[in-house]
Amino acid sequence: MKILLASSEVHPFSKTGGLADMVGALAKTLAGFGHRVGLVTPLYSGLREKFHKIKKLNWDINLPLGPGQVAAEVWTLSVSARLTIYFIRQPDFFERPGLYQEAGRDYPDNAARFVFFSKCVAQLARYLPWKPELVHVHDWQAALVPLFVRHQSLSDGWHRVPHTCLTIHNLAYQGNFPASAFELTNLPAGYFNPKGVEFFNHLNCLKAGIVFSDIITTVSPRYAREIMTGQFGCGLEGILQQRRESVFGILNGVDYSEWRTTRNSFLRHPFSAKRISGKLSGKLALQKEMGLPVNAKIPLFATVSRLADQKGVDILLGALEEMLGNEMQFILLGNGSPFFENAYRDLARRYPDKVGVRIGFDQGLSHRIEAGSDFFLMPSLYEPCGLNQMYSQRYGTIPVVRTTGGLDDSVVDDSEDPAKATGIKFAEYSAPALARAIRRALNLFQDPPRFRAYRINGMKADFSWRRTGEHYLRAYEQAQAQLT
Ligand code: ADP
Ligand code: GLC
């Protein structure tokens, strides 16, 4: 199959969260299966300096954007014979310090930036010489693409258009802009109604994708069910229910060529299920790196996370206040909301021997934390998939998770299957419930044979991309079976 992917972030070029990991790995997997894969993404600052092989294509784009015209260049990087990255170079839009925001504030022209990006994707889908058969777009930043494709097939002479697939990585981010932003699409006014892209007098980019894409996927089976409900549907549950036959929940995979415990340049102490001693050395080194007492006997808990309400960082603060009287340590790597950044810095000041906090984004440290900790805390309010609980398992670190979305789908609690338990789950979204889960973890730590069994089960669990990639191919076949 010939597949064109589009995403506003892609590992290893740009990343604010799991979207980047997922899209980077999906592209590699599909190309590895033998398919022709292209991937469109913005050319952000610094990429050309870091990836010298990125080259300009002889392809200049000039498209209407509302009342004006905007020009862009297409740059490209050939990753392998079957995988090409297409970068959209539009310096005014994309050469900025942040991807979507600075100092916690969204860029005011995000609608223009990503409507334009989506138009460029449709342009590539239409004119790439290898003629993509399926266009797979990710999240709101690219969710207008299926509509542009549909519109151009209906009224702009584009015959044999590709089928389309939208993946929702997080329904809470919809690209919802005042009605005036609709002008940027340069589409006929007829699309701006509740059956189209309008959402309470706003342009809703994600809704456009849900309405106009052939199929919709999201990143875990449980989240696919959750988003049909009022509790998790963020106002789009009705429209998702209407399309329920075309919605598929596919659990993300782990790129085991990156998230590995041996031959990993971020880890000074390699280890494996058979040779676990390296993990202990990693723990001691991590305690030292974070300025905590170096002691193998103290259970070490950790979190690597965006500091946003979604991630349960509020109940985590409450639970830690309750639990830090016990012998334990806690490490946090994260950034995001200034309120939570300060609250965690303050926690570290008050418990200097127990809490280590690093505010920032640091890939190497995220690997060392996954590798060196005993328990990984993910008390998310909601979690479409979540990757760290799967990375943790491979790294022999036991996840403590709330039963929501992909967390529920990828961790086995001992109440579900004692022989196969890989982690600790709790249900109620509250600090005391999380504190109880942490207490269970402390008890597990005191029971070495059981602790080891959890660890080994997790390290053996298989979240490989091969399976995930096969599910996507089946979903693409469904898309191709749709009549458009
Ligand atoms: P989300 O995409 O909602 O943030 P995921 O669990 O899917 O959550 O993915 C988060 C990804 O971002 C993981 O690869 C995680 O290691 C990484 N990450 C999050 N915060 C940081 C940080 N401060 N430093 C380094 N990596 C981070
Ligand atoms: C989103 C979700 C996260 C998911 C990631 C990759 O950022 O919040 O749960 O793992 O996308 O699909």
Find how far residue 226's CA is from the centre of its chain.
Answer: 17
The whole-number pLDDT of residue 203 equals: 98
- Summarize the confidence of residues 233-251 as an average pLDDT: 98
Q: How does DSSP classify residue 254?
A: B
From the alpha carbon of 15, which atom of ligand 1 is closest? 12
Which residues are CB-neighbours of 438 under 8 A, at least 6 positions away?
Answer: 301, 319, 323, 328, 375, 377, 400
- Summarize the confidence of residues 248-272 as an average pLDDT: 97
From the alpha carbon of 21, which atom of ligand 2 is closest? 6
Average pLDDT, whole number, for the chain?
A: 97
Gyration radius of the chain's alpha carbons = 23
- Summarize the confidence of residues 26-41 as an average pLDDT: 98
How far does the centroid of ligand 1 lie from the alpha carbon of residue 59, in Å?
34
Which tokens is 444 given?
A: 């597990």
Residue 484 clears pLDDT 70, i.e. is over it:
no
Give which of 420, 329, 332, 319 is closest to 374, Cα–Cα: 329
The whole-number pLDDT of residue 236 equals: 98
Residue 141 and residue 291: Cα distance in Å, rounded?
A: 40
- Give nearest CA residue, ligand 2 atom 5: 18
User: What would the pLDDT profile of 428-472 be if each residue is shown by its tens digit?
Assistant: 999 999 999 999 999 999 999 999 999 999 999 999 999 999 999
The whole-number pLDDT of residue 186 equals: 98
How far does the centroid of ligand 1 lie from the alpha carbon of residue 253, in Å?
14
- For strand 300-307 and strand 198-199, is the pairing parallel, antiparallel, or unpaired? unpaired
Regarding the beta carbon of 220 and ligand 1, being less than 6 Å apart is answered no
Q: Within 13 Å of residue 473, how many CA atoms lie on the same side as its CB?
A: 18
User: What would the pLDDT profile of 280-291 be if each residue is shown by its tens digit?
Assistant: 999 999 999 999
Cut 0.85: pTM above it: yes
Regarding the beta carbon of 305 and ligand 1, being less than 6 Å apart is answered yes
Residue 214 and residue 161: Cα distance in Å, rounded?
A: 12
Residue 317 and residue 304: Cα distance in Å, rounded?
A: 14
Residue 323 clears pLDDT 60, i.e. is over it:
yes
The whole-number pLDDT of residue 483 equals: 63
From the alpha carbon of 252, which atom of ligand 1 is closest? 7
The DSSP line for 61-97 is EEEEETTEEEEEEEEEEEEETTEEEEEEE-HHHH-SS
The whole-number pLDDT of residue 103 equals: 82
How far does the centroid of ligand 1 lie from the alpha carbon of residue 362, in Å?
10
The whole-number pLDDT of residue 130 equals: 98
Regarding the beta carbon of 386 and ligand 1, being less than 6 Å apart is answered yes
Helical spans, DSSP H, in 250-328: 277-289, 313-323
260 residue type, one letter: R
How far does the centroid of ligand 2 lie from the alpha carbon of residue 388, in Å?
10
The whole-number pLDDT of residue 104 equals: 79
Band of pLDDT at residue 412, cut at 50, 70 and 90: very high
Regarding the beta carbon of 410 and ligand 1, being less than 6 Å apart is answered no
From the alpha carbon of 170, which atom of ligand 1 is closest? 3
pLDDT-above-70 percentage for the chain: 100
Regarding the beta carbon of 361 and ligand 1, being less than 6 Å apart is answered yes
Query: 339 with 309: CB under 8 angstroms?
Result: no
**Residue list, ligand 2 pocket, CB within 6 Å:** 17-19, 22, 169-170, 219, 252, 383-387
Positive or negative, the CA dihedral 318, 319, 322, 326 is negative
Band of pLDDT at residue 166, cut at 50, 70 and 90: very high
Q: Which of 19, 218, 234 for mutating ligand 2's site (highest number of atoms within 8 Å of CB)?
A: 19
Q: Which ligand is nearest to the CA of 250?
A: 2
Regarding the beta carbon of 333 and ligand 1, being less than 6 Å apart is answered yes
Regarding the beta carbon of 304 and ligand 1, being less than 6 Å apart is answered yes
Regarding the beta carbon of 366 and ligand 1, being less than 6 Å apart is answered yes
Q: How does DSSP classify residue 351?
A: -
- Domains of the chain from N-terminus onward: 2-253+466-483 (3.40.50.2000), 277-462 (3.40.50.2000)
Give which of 426, 388, 392 is closest to 406, Cα–Cα: 388
Give buried/exposed letters for 234-263 (b at 16+ CB in 10 A, else e).
Answer: bebbebbeeeeebbbbbbbbbbbebbbbee
Residue 311 and residue 112: Cα distance in Å, rounded?
A: 29
The whole-number pLDDT of residue 123 equals: 98
- Summarize the confidence of residues 77-83 as an average pLDDT: 97
- Helix, strand, coil abundance in the chain, percent, nearest 5: 40, 20, 35
User: What would the pLDDT profile of 294-312 be if each residue is shown by its tens digit?
Assistant: 999 999 999 999 999 999 9
How far does the centroid of ligand 2 lie from the alpha carbon of residue 70, in Å?
31
Residue 123 and residue 112: Cα distance in Å, rounded?
A: 16
Residue 394 clears pLDDT 60, i.e. is over it:
yes
- Give nearest CA residue, ligand 2 atom 1: 169
Residue 13 and residue 205: Cα distance in Å, rounded?
A: 24
Residue 66 clears pLDDT 70, i.e. is over it:
yes
User: What would the pLDDT profile of 1-16 be if each residue is shown by its tens digit?
Assistant: 999 999 999 999 999 9
Query: 402 with 425: CB under 8 angstroms?
Result: yes
Count of Cβ atoms closer than 10 Å to residue 375 Cβ: 26
Band of pLDDT at residue 224, cut at 50, 70 and 90: very high
Strand partners, 2: 36
- Summarize the confidence of residues 137-154 as an average pLDDT: 98
Please count the helices (runs of H) and the strands (runs of E) in the chain: 17, 20
